């Protein structure tokens, strides 16, 4: 999809200390098993949390899940709610662990 982000690009930006808004839409047990320090907002809770994110409507927001499917849905939902710069992490945590490691 247009504007999505690769694990290499995200990792590089995180390593450089860039301030990023990254949201993990997986479930808490998945987050506990492995995470990259993103804000945990499970996909099912996202609609109820949008008001807390409203100040970021025009900022870059990166969403991720295990494989990229749930975060793809999160991206489409957020964009339908007026968020203008939502990017999905391609391949999710599966790709992160395969390409970056732990």
> Active site includes 65?
yes
pLDDT averaged over every residue in the chain: 96
Q: How confident is the model at residue 1 (pLDDT cuts 50, 70, 90)?
A: low
Residue in 63, 65, 78, 93 annotated catalytic: 65
Given a contact cutoff of 8 angstroms between Cβ atoms, the answer to whether 72 and 88 are in contact is yes
8 Å CB contact between 39 and 24:
yes
Going from N- to C-terminal start, the domains of the chain cover 7-99
Could you tell me the pTM of the whole model? Answer: 0.96
Q: What is the DSSP string of 18-37?
A: ----EEE-S-HHHHHHS--S
Pairwise CA distance, residues 36 & 17, whole Å = 13
- pLDDT at residue 28, as a whole number: 98
Question: For residues 67 and 26, what is the distance between their CA atoms, to the nearest angstrom?
Answer: 10
Q: Cβ distance 62 to 12 under 8 Å? A: no
For the segment(s) 7-99, the CATH number from 3.40.50.300, 3.40.190.10, 3.40.250.10, 3.40.50.1010 is 3.40.250.10
Say which residue the tokens 């839409």 belong to. Answer: 25
Q: How confident is the model at residue 102 (pLDDT cuts 50, 70, 90)?
A: confident
pLDDT in tens, 14-49: 999 999 999 999 999 999 999 999 999 999 999 999
């Amino acid at each position: 999809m247009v504007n999505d982000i690769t694990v290499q690009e995200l990792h590089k930006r995180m390593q450089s200390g860039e301030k990023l808004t990254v949201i993990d839409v997986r479930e808490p047990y998945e987050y506990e098993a492995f995470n990259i320090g993103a804000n945990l907002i499970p996909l099912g809770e996202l609609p109820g949390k949008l008001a807390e994110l409203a100040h970021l409507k025009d900022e870059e927001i990166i969403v991720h899940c295990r494989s990229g499917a749930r975060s793809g849905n999160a991206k489409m939902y957020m964009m339908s709610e007026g968020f203008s710069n939502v990017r999905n992490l391609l391949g999710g945590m599966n790709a992160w662990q395969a390409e970056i490691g732990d």
